[in-house]
Structure 1
Amino acid sequence: MSQKKHVSLPQLVLIITTTVYSFSSMSTAFYMMGIKALPWFLIAGGCYFIPYALIVAQYTRKYGNRSGTVYDWLKDALSPKAAFVTAFLWYCSYFTWMVSLFMKLVIPLSILLFGRDITAEASWFGISTPWLVAGFAICAVALLTWLINRGFGTILRFLKVSSLAMVGLLLLSAVSNFTLVFAHPTEVWANIQQGLHAPSFFEGTGDQFFSQLPFFIFAITAFGGLDTVASLSDRTKDSRRQFPKGLIYSGVIILAIYIGGIILWSGANDLGTLRQTDQMHLGNLMYGLMGSLAGSLSKTLGLSVAASGVVYQIYIRYTAFVLFTAYLGLLSSISFGPLKSLIQGTPKNLWPKQLTKLNNQEMPFKALHLQAGVIILVILAVTLNTHVAGELFNQLTYMTNVARAMPYFVVAASFPFFLKKRIVADQELFVSNRKLSNFLSMSVCACIIFAIAFQIWEPFSLGHYSDALTLIIGPIVFSTIAALLYRRGDVAGMRVE
Structure 2
Amino acid sequence: MNKKKINLIGLIMIIFIGVFGFGNIANNYKVIGTQSSTIFIVGAILYFLPMALIMAEFGSYAKDRTGGIYAWIEIGMGKNFAYFAIWSYFISNIFYLPTLATRVPTYLSFFLYGDSSISNYWMAFLAAITLLVALFIGIVYESKLEKLSTPVGYISLAVAAIFLIGGAYLFFIGRAETAITLDSFVVKINDQNQFASVLSTFAWVLFAYGGCEICGTYVDKIEHPERNFVKSVLGAAIIIGLLYVFGILSIAAYGTPDEFSKVSLVNAVISGYKFMGDKFGFGLWFVRMIGFTYTLITLVALVLWSVALSRAVFSEVPPKTFPNWLTKKNEKGILKNALIFQTVLSFLFIVITTFGGKSAGDLYYKIYDMSTMAFLLPYLSLGIAYINFRKSGKIATFQATKSMFGAYVLGSLVATLAIVSLIFAGINISQPLSSQIDTIILYYGGLLLFLFIGFIIKIIDFKE
Same structural fold, with TM-score higher than 0.5 when normalized by the shorter chain: yes
Per the alignment, residue 385 of structure 1 pairs with 356
The equivalent residue for 1:294 is 277
Q: Residue in 2 aligned with 1:315?
A: 286
TM-score (norm. length: structure 2): 0.89
Partner Cα distance (2:327, 2:212) in 1: 25
> What's the TM-score, normalizing by structure 1?
0.83
- How far residue 146 of structure 1 moved from its aligned partner, in angstroms, is 2.0
Relative to structure 1, the CA distance from residue 78 to residue 283 in structure 2 (aligned partners, 3 Å threshold; closer, same or farther) is closer
Q: Which residue of 1 aligns with 2:214?
A: 228
Distance 1:236 1:275, change over 3 A: same
- Identical counterparts, % of pairs: 19
- Measure how far apart 1:462 and its partner are: 7.9
Q: How far apart are residue 354 of structure 1 and its match?
A: 2.7
Shift of the 348–191 alpha-carbon distance from structure 1 to 2, 3 Å rule, reads same
Partner of 2:52 in structure 1? 53
Q: In structure 1, what is the equivalent of residue 13 of structure 2?
A: 14
- Cα shift readout 1:223-249 (whole Å, capped 9, x = no counterpart): 111122322222222223321221112
Residue 196 of structure 1 is aligned with which of 173, 176, 184? 184
Partner of 1:246: 232
Separation (CA, whole Å) in 2 of partners of 1:98 and 1:366? 16
Q: Go from structure 1 to structure 2 and tell me whether the alpha carbon gap of 1:423 and 1:6 turns closer, same or farther (over 3 Å shift).
A: same
Asked if 1:142 is matched to 2:132, the reply is yes
Structure 2 equivalent of residue 303 of structure 1:
none
- Superposed CA offset, 1:322-343 (max 9, x none): 3222221221012111112222
1:28 corresponding residue in structure 2: 27
Q: Which residue in 2 is equivalent to 1:174?
A: 164
Rounded Cα–Cα distance in structure 2 between residues aligned with 1:193 and 1:342: 47
Secondary structure in 2 aligned to 1:369? helix
User: CA 1:262 to 1:472, structure 2 compared with 1: closer, same or farther past 3 Å?
Assistant: closer
1:84/1:117 CA distance change after superposition, 3 Å: same
* Aligned-partner Cα distance in 2 for 1:190–1:371: 44
**Native 8 Å contact 2:13 2:153 kept in 1:** yes
CA contact (8 A) 2:10 2:149 kept: no
Structure 2 equivalent of residue 368 of structure 1: 339
Q: Which runs of 5+ in 2 are unaligned?
A: none
Question: Is the radius of gyration larger for structure 1 or structure 2?
Answer: 1
- Which aligned segments of 4 or more residues in structure 1 are displaced greater than 6 angstroms? 197-200
Distance 1:280 1:416, change over 3 A: closer
Is the CA contact 1:65–1:240 (under 8 Å) kept in the aligned structure 2? Answer: no
Q: Distance in 2 between matches of 1:197 and 1:479?
A: 40
Q: CA deviation at 1:473?
A: 2.7
Q: What CA RMSD, in Å, does the superposition of the two structures yield over aligned residues?
A: 3.1
Residue of 412, 417, 423 corresponding to 1:453: 423
In 1, the alpha carbon distance for the partners of 2:177 and 2:129 equals: 49
> Aligned partners of 2:284 and 2:83: how far apart in 1?
49
Q: CA deviation at 1:366?
A: 1.8
1:159 aligns with 2:149: yes
Among residues 101, 114, 120, which one is paired with 1:130 in the alignment? Answer: 120
Matches within 5 A, 1:79-478: 79-119=78-118, 129-153=119-143, 155-182=145-172, 184-185=173-174, 191-193=179-181, 196=184, 205-206=193-194, 212-266=198-252, 268-269=253-254, 271-272=255-256, 275=258, 280=263, 282-298=265-281, 311-424=282-395, 428-458=398-428, 461=433, 463-478=435-450
Aligned residues: 460
**Equivalent pair of 2:64/2:220 in contact (CA under 8 Å):** yes
Separation in structure 1 between the aligned mates of residue 250 and residue 341 of structure 2, nearest angstrom: 46
* Equivalent runs, 1:67-82 vs 2, <5 Å: 67-82=66-81
* Deviation for aligned residue 1:190: 7.3
Residues 190, 133 of structure 1: alpha-carbon distance in 2 compared, 3 angstrom cutoff: closer
85-94 or 251-260, larger mean C-alpha shift: 251-260
- What is the identity, as a one-letter code, of the residue corresponding to 2:234? I
* Equivalent residues of 1:165, 1:325 under 8 A apart: no
Q: Which moved more, 1:162-171 or 1:432-441?
A: 162-171
Q: Are the equivalent residues in 1 in contact too, given 2:57–2:400 (CA < 8 A)? A: yes
Structure 1 spans left out of the alignment, 5+ residues:
120-128, 299-310
Change (3 A) 1:180 1:395: closer
CA drift at 1:403: 0.6
Please tell me whether the aligned partners of residues 45 and 255 of structure 1 are also in contact (alpha carbons under 8 angstroms).
Answer: yes
Contact kept? 1:150, 1:361, Cα under 8 Å = no
CA distance in 2, matches of 1:321, 1:150: 24
Using the TM superposition, name which of 12-21 and 48-57 deviates more.
Answer: 12-21
The separation in 2 between residues aligned to 1:149 and 1:277, in whole angstroms, is 39
Q: Could you tell me how far apart the structure 1 residues matched to 2:180 and 2:376 are?
A: 34
